[in-house]
Amino acid sequence: MQDNAISHRPWKNNQLTARSDSLRLGVALGGGGARGYAHIGILQVLEEAGITAGAVAGTSSGALVGAVYAGGGLDRLVAESTQIRLLDVPRMLSPSWSLRGIFTGNNAIEWLSGLIGRETFDDLDIPFVALATDVDTGESVVLRDGPVSSAVRASISIPGLFTPIHRDGRILVDGGLVDPLPVAAARDLGAGFVIAVDLFGDAATVAPPPKDDEPGALDTTLNYIRGFLPAETEEPANNNRRHGPNVLEAIERSMIITQHGLTQARLARYPADFRFEPPVAEIGALDFHRAREGIEIGRETARRELPALRDALERHRRRHTGLRGLFHRTIDAIRR
């Protein structure tokens, strides 16, 4: 481990702490659908640099990657996700034919469960929480116990796109509706220094990605669904934007616009100590066949920002060690 790395995996059990360990590193992984592949690349580079998370909080796709990372399955996730082809995407999403949501995500969750390799939160190597939203109350729900796979499934349940999840007497949907970048949740796990990965930080993420001549995951998935519909309900495939977005594009665009603004608001209230903003604007929410590209974007971003992160970690260490650290810890304790 590098000398200036803040450590590390202090707990076997996933117990929350009311007090922060000033030298414990936490990672907050934001939502963004397939853009979340960038999380993988960033975590890889951090591990290679000896900077290892002692707590992980994730929302939506950040919950998916975070759960796999906390279970020690990141290498398996890379190996399997890079094998996903464009035509695999609609089958993974599992059309539901329900008014509650277009997809169930059952095949994807079955796949994910094998990658995590751990059934419950207590089995994970690193303290981890997933964020979801109670659709009845609008409250942010921090999922920290019980089956990991159902917690992740709740966290990724984009309304209208995925059917909601019933868990612990609540109806849960995507955590990004309330907390798209869970910095506060990472601090509640005891982290004194929080690295956030913001998939909507780049202003370019709000603009629609350019339309290619080749169909992407949205078009392919919509065409897959059309194949099961009666002929009279079908609409001609048309990529001309003057006709407006189709239903999947509308849901994706709504998610992007909403989460971009909400993320900025949440960061203003709960700032991270360091933030990565990988440029993933051209990866669509359902582009799960673009793992190699997303992972490499994350790796490039982390490599580019690594010197600045090391400096921030060293400043934080100096601030919280020795007599000066004792002074700051005392002030923090008084404020709490």
Q: Strands 128-134 and 55-59: what pairing?
A: parallel
The residue from 174, 188, 219, 287 that is catalytic is 174
- Over residues 11-54, the pLDDT tens digits come to 343 333 334 566 789 999 999 889 999 999 999 999 999 999 99
Quick one: pLDDT band at residue 260, thresholds 50, 70, 90? confident
Quick one: pLDDT band at residue 171, thresholds 50, 70, 90? very high
- If DSSP codes are grouped into helix, strand and coil, which group holds residue 198? coil
Cα 95 to Cα 173, 285, 336: the distances in Å are: 17, 16, 48
DSSP string, 249-272: HHHHHHHHHHHHHHHHHHHHHS--
Kindly give, in sequence order, each residue whose CB lies less than 8 Å from that of residue 238, ignoring residues fewer than 6 positions away.
Answer: none
> Does residue 328 surpass a pLDDT of 80?
no
- Over residues 315-324, the pLDDT tens digits come to 998 887 765 5
Share in percent of the chain as helix, strand, coil (round to 5) = 45, 15, 35
Q: Taking residues 105-110, report their average pLDDT.
A: 70
Helix 291-319 vs helix 37-48: crossing angle, to nearest 10: 50
224 φ/ψ sector (left φ>0, alpha ψ -120 to 50, else beta) = alpha
Distance CA 135, CA 178 (A): 10
Q: Taking residues 212-231, report their average pLDDT.
A: 49
Q: What is the mean pLDDT of the chain?
A: 79
Cα 25 to chain centroid distance, Å, stands at 17
The pair of structure tokens assigned to 234 is 């079908």
For residue 157, indicate whether it is catalytic. Answer: no
For residue 60, indicate whether it is catalytic. Answer: yes
> Does residue 103 surpass a pLDDT of 50?
yes
Element containing residue 212 per DSSP (H, E): none
- Would you state the pLDDT for residue 14? 37
117 φ/ψ sector (left φ>0, alpha ψ -120 to 50, else beta) = left
- Answer yes or no: pTM beyond 0.75: yes
Task: Answer whether 74's CB lies under 8 Å from 197's CB.
Answer: no
Cα 185 to Cα 28, 119, 271: the distances in Å are: 8, 21, 12
Cα 129 to Cα 15, 89, 168, 233, 263: the distances in Å are: 11, 26, 15, 42, 18
The residue from 20, 21, 22, 60 that is catalytic is 60
